[in-house]
Amino acid sequence: MKSLKVLQHPLAETHNQLAILEGSGLYKHALFADKLAAAGVFPLRPVDIDIFQVNVGKMCNQVCRHCHVDAGPDRREIMTRQTMQQCLDALRNNPHLKIVDLTGGAPEMNPDFRWFVEEIKKLDRHVMVRCNLTIILANKKYHDLPQFYRKHNIEVVSSLPFYTQDRTDRQRGNGVFESSIKALQMLNEEGYGKQGTGLILNLVYNPAGAFMPPSQSSLEKEYKKALLEQYDIEFNSLFAITNLPVSRFLDYLLESGNYESYMDKLVNAFNPVAAANVMCRNTISIGWDGYLYDCDFNQMLDLKVQSSVRHISDFNAAVLTDRNIIVKQHCYGCTAGSGASCGGTLV
């Protein structure tokens, strides 16, 4: 089966991916909305929104096989300072938005990234940055990122697909594991991941193929033991995240002939407890251009919020809380087994 990459226009690719996920003319699976209805949680509605997730751009120094953002060095979508200011205005007017989760691409590649972080901290918010680790060593202008993060007490969340070189490099590119280890050691030198410092360093595991992640707690113990013994690296927690059938990972599933079997795994592992606790219920996702989404995955499928408020310039928390969350077949990835979110398992 041909990859979706033969389509040149991003919006056409998005529409094609949605058609595949909905099973039009290809594969048929139970509608996710029907599963939610049977579990008594449809329509899916927000609870109090307290996480403000901002994608500051799709530019990245890596091209990872599983990336649902389809990020890379050739992407030019970058959040402007004007849109960042609109985000700051929304935060200032909504003190209940306690956590700001900055993502990309490599968020650090946005030229206004450090200014944005400093302005958010002035508003006394907890800031998380999803750092791919290799960016720290990619260019000398990024070498002081560990010091910058420590100065502003930023929580660092970093992807490390596995604690061995072969599995990590297969998923993220040659040399990525070595650079990631060096970056983790640099973060440790600043106190990150060390007991008693209050500097939080969390790692993220993504499966390297068409399978679901193992037990998060067991995997965390393996990671901690291996990284400490082999590289003297410490960290706080491991987040095990299921790969959702979106963008590059969907391409991989189609090209390898694993799409139908992988969707079967997700559908058969549907967990109503996880469904009641999905991250879209307390998170609002802001795209690089300021448009609003229920989650980062819906953002990549161009599924803007079902609300009269659709852009950060018009942000209204009360209106956004009173909406139905858009669900599609990719949502099975967040509700399979123990569930998955940007903060790891849900159950």
The mean pLDDT value for 66-70 works out to 80
143-161 confidence digits (pLDDT tens) = 999 999 999 999 999 999 8
Residues 6+ apart with CB under 8 A from 94: 315, 317
* Percentage of the residues of the chain whose pLDDT score is greater than 90: 79
pTM flag (> 0.75): yes
156 bridge partner residues:
129, 201
CA-based nearest residue to 327, from 275, 264, 283: 275
310 by Cβ neighbours in 10 Å (0-12 / 13-18 / 19+) ranks as middle
Q: How confident is the model at residue 26 (pLDDT cuts 50, 70, 90)?
A: very low
- Kind of pairing between the strands at 292-293 and 283-286: antiparallel
The CATH T-level fold of domain 4-335 is: TIM Barrel (3.20.20)
Mean pLDDT, rounded, of the chain: 91
Between the CA atoms of 209, 215, 216 and 221, what dihedral angle is there, to the nearest 10 degrees?
Answer: -110
The values of phi and psi at residue 285, to 5°, are -105, 130
